[in-house]
Structure 1
Amino acid sequence: MTSSTHRLRRTSAAAAILLSAAVACSPADGSASVAVPSPDAEVAGYCKALHKELPEKVIEDVPRRDASPESPYTAAWGDPAIVLRCGIERPAEAIDPDNNAVEVNGVGWVVDDRGDDGIRFISRYREAYVELLVPASYQADAGILVEFAKPVEKSIPKTIDD
Structure 2
Amino acid sequence: MALYHRVVLINVSAVACLAAAAAYGFAVSGSGDDAVAVPVPDARTAGYCRALQGALPQQVAGLSRHDLKPRSELIAGWGNPAIVLRCGVPRPAVDDNPEADGVDVDGVGWSIERASGGTMRLTTTLRQAYVEVTLPKRYAGDVGPLTDLAGAVKGTIPAL
Partner of 2:69: 68
2:132 alignment partner, SS class: strand
In structure 2, stretches of 5+ residues that fail to align are 1-23
1:141 alignment partner, SS class: coil
In structure 1, stretches of 5+ residues that fail to align are 1-11
CA positional deviation for 1:143: 2.0
* Cα deviations by residue, 1:87-145 (Å, 9 ceiling, x for unpaired): 00111112322111111111000112335332110100000001000011125412221
Larger Rg: 1
Looking at structure 2, the residues matched to 112 and 25 of structure 1 have their Cα atoms a distance apart, in angstroms, of 20
- Written as runs of structure 1 = structure 2, the 5 A alignment for 1:1-150 is 16=26, 19-20=27-28, 23=29, 25-27=31-33, 32-59=34-61, 61-150=62-151
Matched to 1:25, the amino acid is S
Looking at structure 2, the residues matched to 24 and 137 of structure 1 have their Cα atoms a distance apart, in angstroms, of 12
1:117 alignment partner, SS class: coil
Looking at structure 2, the residues matched to 153 and 123 of structure 1 have their Cα atoms a distance apart, in angstroms, of 10
Kindly indicate whether the alpha-carbon contact (under 8 Å) linking 1:100 and 1:110 is maintained by their aligned counterparts in 2. yes
Q: CA RMSD in A?
A: 1.6
CA positional deviation for 1:65: 1.1
Partner of 2:18: none
1:71 alignment partner, SS class: coil
* Count of residues paired in the alignment: 137
- 1 or 2 for the larger relative contact order (CA 8 Å, sep ≥6)? 2
Kindly indicate whether the alpha-carbon contact (under 8 Å) linking 1:82 and 1:132 is maintained by their aligned counterparts in 2. yes
4+ residue segments displaced more than 6 Å: none
Kindly indicate whether the alpha-carbon contact (under 8 Å) linking 2:90 and 2:130 is maintained by their aligned counterparts in 1. yes
Kindly indicate whether the alpha-carbon contact (under 8 Å) linking 1:57 and 1:63 is maintained by their aligned counterparts in 2. yes
Kindly indicate whether the alpha-carbon contact (under 8 Å) linking 2:120 and 2:140 is maintained by their aligned counterparts in 1. no
Kindly indicate whether the alpha-carbon contact (under 8 Å) linking 2:102 and 2:111 is maintained by their aligned counterparts in 1. yes
Kindly indicate whether the alpha-carbon contact (under 8 Å) linking 1:110 and 1:123 is maintained by their aligned counterparts in 2. yes
Looking at structure 2, the residues matched to 58 and 95 of structure 1 have their Cα atoms a distance apart, in angstroms, of 29
Kindly indicate whether the alpha-carbon contact (under 8 Å) linking 1:94 and 1:123 is maintained by their aligned counterparts in 2. no
- Give percent identity, aligned residues only: 41
Name the stretch that deviates more: 69-78 or 141-150: 141-150
Looking at structure 1, the residues matched to 77 and 96 of structure 2 have their Cα atoms a distance apart, in angstroms, of 26
Name the stretch that deviates more: 123-132 or 139-148: 139-148
